[in-house]
């Protein structure tokens, strides 16, 4: 596997892991006490930021162009 193919494969795995993490946080939020929701929302926002950044990196690696997620999704840092 060449460097670029390995990089792309790892980005794919990272994006899948971020998506699974978001699902986990949503499941936690479904049963969490109201007092925890604000903090869990903050954590979930961080994870969706990660998804947007990895999606941009993945598209750049595959197609040579950005999906502009870091610009299109408000607040991504």
Q: Which two tokens stand for residue 60?
A: 């750049």
pLDDT band at 72 (very low <50, low <70, confident <90, very high): confident
Q: Where are the domains of the chain?
A: 3-72
Dihedral (C-alpha) 23, 56, 72, 34: value to the nearest 10 degrees? Answer: 20
Backbone angles phi, psi at 28, to 5 degrees: -65, -45
How many CB atoms neighbour CB 74 within 10 A? 5
Largest CA distance in the chain: 48
What pLDDT is stored for residue 14 in this prediction? 95
> What's the pLDDT score for residue 21?
95
pLDDT of res. 1: 55
pLDDT at 22: 95
pLDDT tens digits for 39-62?
Answer: 999 999 999 999 999 998 999 999
């Amino acid at each position: 596997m060449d460097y670029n193919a390995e990089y792309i494969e790892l980005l794919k795995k990272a994006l899948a892991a971020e998506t699974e993490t978001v699902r986990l946080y949503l499941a936690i939020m479904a049963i969490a006490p109201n007092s925890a929701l604000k903090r869990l929302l903050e954590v979930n926002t961080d994870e969706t930021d990660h998804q947007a950044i990895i999606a941009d990196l993945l598209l750049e690696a595959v197609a040579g162009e950005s999906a502009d997620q870091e610009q299109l999704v408000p607040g991504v840092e």
